[in-house]
Structure 1
Amino acid sequence: MAWSTRELADLAGTTLKTVRYYHRIGLLDEPERAANGYKRYQINHLIRLLRIRRLVDLGVPLSDIATMEESDEHAEQTLRTLDAELAASIERQQRMRDELAVILRHRNLVDLPPGFDKTAADLSEADRSLLLLYSRVFSPSAMAAVRELVTIPRTPLDKQFESLPADASEDSRQQLAERLVPEIRAQYKHHPSLKNAAVQTPHGESVVVQGLVELYNPAQLDVLRRVNALLKANPESPQP
């Protein structure tokens, strides 16, 4: 008994296009042709096609199938490599599922880069947006420090800065800046990687500056400028 290309494809549970592609890349031998020029596939072609489909279903790339047939050693190496890749993929997907589970309980975490837990979910929208920017321009060590800082309970000064109105008086801005300086100095002391974190990547500093300008109101920006001036006034203290 012999089959046409379409019949062979149907028997193997694949498509006519796939069979022709396997011929083109040399995975499936061309059969003899009948007097009328039509291909006549035999049982050996069907078995070969089923074996190819089995390997493909297991995830073996077509480019590796021919190599597997060279020796048992090549076959084992290809399968072990595939197994390691699948294990890594499963581990990555499990991490994603774990992270999604946390996000489903704390929806604001979807606006944060990976690695932040529920303690960061209550941050303001501006702060969450800044953390996304930081994740693109800060070094890994700086981001690790940021994640640690976020886990620390927010202080009254943090809340005061967050709620500072755009028309806050100059006196209130100065007082807030002076009160923030000791906290920021302590942060730089315990996390030196934050000192120049924004320059770890090209244009990083400009990204952070532009983010601050667009996400904070004029009074908050003025407080940050005052803090920076106060820090620079003492050369012995870490500066942002």
Structure 2
Amino acid sequence: MRMKGGWSTREIADFAGTTVKTVRHYHRIGLLKEPGRGANGYKKYGIQHLLRLMRIRRLAELGVALSDIAAVQESPESAEQTLRALDAELAAGIERQQRMRAELASILRNPVLAETAPGFEDHADGMNDLERAFVLLTSRIFEPGAMDVMRDLTAEPRSEAAAEFGELSDDATDETRQDLAERYAVEIKRDMDDHPALRKAVDKVQAGGDPQTQPVLLHAVVELLNKAQIDVLQRANTIIYPESER
């Protein structure tokens, strides 16, 4: 790069390790002042332009937003505030990546965790495929308080009624379905009575739910459960929410 009464845009861009397009963009946004032009009409950049460009590139490579660079260069107070904010953002990003790596390591050890809702990892092995699927779906529908309750309930041994429901086959007799529905309804109602956050979530679903998410649960019930299980849920629902209370 030789001094010839000033450098061209291409020369200054090459030396600073950037592109002509980038230099022109800095001109447009007022970050880099345009130099004068020579007799041939071409821009003539001097050492101050080059230093300014290199300092802009330095800050940009560190992650400083272009909209903040002028303030950083002009005010020590602004520089410290902006750089500290950037440092905090980078620290949060590193923490997130470390957390993601830890989760990936856990999934590599136990692939079933990839199918498990966040926060339920410790209970994944104790849940069957159906339970994991519904917990994963409801994690995007229920409020955090309701999910906390579900996590606590999941940690408890599966009840006899819940186990029977999971294994219920389509050829279950009407008597078997009704007996299971009555016992299952007692357990569901007890859990709801003991945990207001869960009752609030279930009551909302019973009342029609969120029009954006309710169809998800309905499709899940139809596609993941067999006809006997759906029948048992309908019977249990009738017991928990009798006509007089609707």
TM-score normalised over the length of structure 2: 0.85
2:57 is aligned with 1:53: yes
Answer whether contact 1:32 1:40 (CA < 8 A) is retained.
yes
Identity %: 54
- 1:115 is displaced (CA, Å) by 1.8
Structure 2 counterpart of 1:194, from 192, 198, 201? 198
2:84 is aligned with 1:80: yes
Aligned pairs, number: 237
Structure 1 counterpart of 2:147, from 136, 139, 143? 143
- 1:121 is displaced (CA, Å) by 4.3
Match in the other structure for 1:179: 183
- 1:196 is displaced (CA, Å) by 3.0
Amino acid at match of 2:236: V
Gaps (5+ residues) in structure 1?
none
Structure 1 window deviating more from structure 2 (68-77 vs 212-221): it is 68-77
Structure 1 window deviating more from structure 2 (218-227 vs 110-119): it is 110-119
Distance 2:167 2:143 in 1: 29
Q: Deviations over 1:127-184 (max 9, x none)?
A: 3222232122211111111122222232343232112111211122122223323332
Match in the other structure for 1:10: 14
- 1:30 is displaced (CA, Å) by 1.2
Answer whether contact 1:6 1:16 (CA < 8 A) is retained.
yes
Answer whether contact 1:109 1:118 (CA < 8 A) is retained.
no
SS state at 2:139 partner: helix
2:229 is aligned with 1:224: no
Amino acid at match of 1:226: R
Distance 2:200 2:222 in 1: 19
2:133 is aligned with 1:125: no
Match in the other structure for 1:44: 48
Distance 1:174 1:17 in 2: 74
Distance 1:57 1:164 in 2: 60
Structure 2 counterpart of 1:208, from 199, 205, 217? 217
Indicate the structure whose relative CO is greater, using CA pairs within 8 Å and at least 6 residues apart. 1
Distance 2:196 2:219 in 1: 23
Distance 1:134 1:176 in 2: 23
Amino acid at match of 2:79: A
- 1:17 is displaced (CA, Å) by 1.0
Answer whether contact 2:72 2:82 (CA < 8 A) is retained.
yes
2:38 is aligned with 1:29: no
Distance 1:18 1:73 in 2: 27
- 1:36 is displaced (CA, Å) by 1.2
TM-score normalised over the length of structure 1: 0.87
SS state at 2:74 partner: coil
Q: How does 1:82-121 map to 2 (within 5 A)?
A: 82-121=86-125
RMSD: 2.5
Distance 1:24 1:206 in 2: 50
Structure 1 window deviating more from structure 2 (116-125 vs 164-173): it is 116-125
Q: Deviations over 1:71-115 (max 9, x none)?
A: 211111111221222222222222222222222222222223322
Distance 2:163 2:210 in 1: 32
SS state at 1:136 partner: coil
- 1:197 is displaced (CA, Å) by 0.6
- 1:59 is displaced (CA, Å) by 0.7
Amino acid at match of 1:116: F
